[in-house]
Structure 1
Amino acid sequence: MGDDGGRYSFRKRKRPQQDGSDEVLNQLLELTAACGRLVVFSGSGLSANSGMSMFSTKNGLYERARQRFKIQDGIKLFSYPFYKQRRMDVQQFFAQIYGEAKNSKASPGHVAMAQLHELGKLQRHYTLNIDGLAEVVGMDTWHHEKNPNGITVEMHGNISYVVCPSCHAVERLSGPVMATMKACQPVACSTCHEDEMRFKVMLYDDEQGDCITPEDVFEQLEDDLAAADAVLWVGISFEQSASTEYFRKVRGGTGAGAERVCGGAEDGAPQPTQSQQACTQQALVCSCSRPV
């Protein structure tokens, strides 16, 4: 996506647009402009042009994990059972992902969402991404104790932090810790001194998931859904079990008058889909057509 004198020029998708796409876009624009309390769920499609590797694309994270660890399916590396078996190797692989996140840039979609927040239209932003790019554009991170008014809820954690499964102490990733993990060595917690520090990233079937996403998150989600006028899904394919489970929770928790709008990109698409671009465009319309 590019900025051309205050107007967006969107890269066309190779796949033909489906009939009715213009009508869906117009409905999305009208709906968002009329809503005062939006809950947004975002996935990897939002960061597709930010410099982060996607999971399912060619040379993506799953393929790189499969080749490096000689496993049949690269998704296995992101599971807790595999982490238990090869903890140091997984930490080393995640250290590489952190390097990408550190060098990535916020996308126009991130900026547009921040503008919605500035206008007071964003009730909450729930993200499945671990890149921390929402913080880059000024959307502070929610915490049930330290920052209950934070706007972004990191459902799957943040690759820029490490956490202790024993005492739940959280630390921002430092140079020495990064070097230790790259060397496949354990990192001790500075609070309880257990050598179990791990990246603050949720894994599949994560037995330590409570130190990544506490149950308070879902209590906050219930409150936000009850107050929401609409729920937007941005950059999410609904091909992963987590996203479909969140969708079920939303369907059961939204108020009677709330609208649910899917602007999902396929997980792993190298460029944002037309639907995700539509979400970005409608956000810009809501922000008084200010260029990004």
Structure 2
Amino acid sequence: MRGIGNVLGYERSLERRGSNGTKEINRWVCRLAEKYYAVNGCSSQRFHQDYLERHFINLLNSLQRDERFQQEVEKVIAQTELSAQELKQEAEVQKRIEQLNQALYEAVDEELHKDGQDHQRVDALSEKIVKLHQQLKDFSDRKKLAEHYRNEFKELKKQIKRLNDEANQAFPTELFEHFVEQATVYKDGKIVYQLSLGLEWSSDERYEDYQKMISMKRKAERQARRKEKQAAFLKGPEVTALLKYCEEPRRWGEILAFMNTKMTISESYFRKSIVLPLMEEGKLQKDFIPNSQSKRKYYMVKK
């Protein structure tokens, strides 16, 4: 890949993620961004390799249902193919070559019977024939290129469908190397791909979107870990002892004092992290004591 006119360099680092240990981070950055002293330096940021890979996979997934992309490919093919006028020109060139070949044959035969041979006419005819053959080659190359684009598009759609059918979407290295001739990365993370179908293509995805997604993912993972830890704690010996203690109706001060014999805990944390979750689970309730004159509500195990 390239930055805006410059090659991207690869760098590897290790980052510590709290109790989750160390994680390897792979990034790409414009070579000039590393040379802050350069006259024509680059202020581009470093991009996680994961972003570059996700960007390409997301682009592929979007192409399958992008009618605009298909229209652009068909437009490129139509512009590459010979028009009706050019097909007519091709036939005329072929016919003209045949005429000139005959004239050249006659000119060479005539020259062979002369004592002092004059090559000017032979050379002129040969030069015209060479130029016309080049025109034919140009026409032929365009027809082959149009067919190449058509086959590439067919193969790309086939590979995208196969990619979408796979449950685990690993980065399709072979697909990238086959269809992407060059990729240009801009400062905001926009990536423009020069495809083997004869056109450039990109998407609206930017590095900021990726950073937000990663932030939300990490937040969700932290919440999930806290939830898992909380669930395990509510099944632990301290809470089990509290529930047993609450088999008899207890006042708030009693259960808070009891819990502090098992662990040091603040009143607010006790309420938020233990009592309320137990009540939500239906294991603990706050109610009047049956057949009692007391107007105070007590905490007790829900039976």
TM-score in same-fold range (> 0.5): no
- TM-score, normalised via structure 2 length: 0.20
The structure whose RCO (Cα within 8 Å, separation 6+) is larger is: 1
